[in-house]
Amino acid sequence: MESVDTALDRVWPAQLRTDRLLLRPVTQEDGPLVSELLTDARVRAHLGGPATENRVLARQADYPTTAGAFTVVRVADQQPIGLVTIGADHRCDGRAEISYQLRPAAWGEGMGREAVAAAVSWWTDAVPGGGPLVAVTQKANTASRRMLEAIGMTLVDELDEHGARQCVYTPAGDQDDSDLRWVRLLAERRDAVERRRGAQARETPVGQGLPDDLAALTPEKLARLCPTRHGAYGRICARVADHSPDLHLGRAQDGAWIAWPATPDA
């Protein structure tokens, strides 16, 4: 199976059309839309809250060069109303994730459903080698869950992330989810390996020097922690910056110590 990024590069750029919408690649002119979506408290209610200014600037710069990033345009008035993106799922190698944000003024008209359904169909038809596709939404986000179920996606898993329970959906019906199950098994194996590495790293002098509760560290000590985020779920390395060991050492969602390679490919 080719990587998600390779599969996207092979078919990008792309334009998708529905009865009411045009999905086209994000451009620099979409900067105001990106800023509005990332800072609107209603849009971000289940996405961790409004983004920082630096995050907004980074997204405005990255989106126009990102394969799989669509601006959703309402055909009737040519107004951009949202974003739909398909990219590699950081939780699981070989799996793609679709995400979506829509201006509140366009809510309640079925346009989000129409846009996401078009993108899912495009991935399934145009990118057959791209691997399984998932959508992850907060369990509390009932509107998003209803929308995913309305376009034929099925709940296949739940996980805790960003301090909230998340639901994992994947297209059902004509898509065989055997690949998804296989990738999930690989993810579980990786998690077990990282936990074993973490237990071993915790026995080292560096590991023993870390408190059980990282929140107990002073601001000065927290500022010295390694900023690298190679681990799944964006785990933060608990070792001091510029450390030399090959493994990063951090905490899992349940508090267990986990260690992962210093480079993603290791």
Name the residue ranges covered by the structural domains of the chain.
4-128, 197-261
pLDDT band at 24 (very low <50, low <70, confident <90, very high): very high
Contact 189, 155 (CB under 8 A): no
Q: What is the dihedral of CA 60, 65, 67, 70, to 10 degrees?
A: 40
Please give the DSSP secondary-structure letter assigned to residue 111: H
So what's the architecture of 4-128 in CATH?
3-Layer(aba) Sandwich (3.40)
How would you class 211 by CB atoms within 10 Å of its CB: exposed for 0-12, middle for 13-18, buried for 19 or more?
Answer: exposed
Region 76-93: mean pLDDT is: 91
Q: What are the Cα distances from residue 241, in Å, to 31, 218, 220, 222, 236?
A: 34, 15, 12, 10, 11
- pLDDT tens per residue, range 147-195: 999 998 988 888 787 778 889 898 875 445 555 665 666 677 777 888 8
At 226 the pLDDT is: 79
Region 186-213: mean pLDDT is: 80
User: Cα separation of 257 and 170, whole Å?
Assistant: 30
User: Cα separation of 84 and 96, whole Å?
Assistant: 13
Phi (first) and psi of residue 131, to 5 degrees: 85, 180
Region 246-258: mean pLDDT is: 80
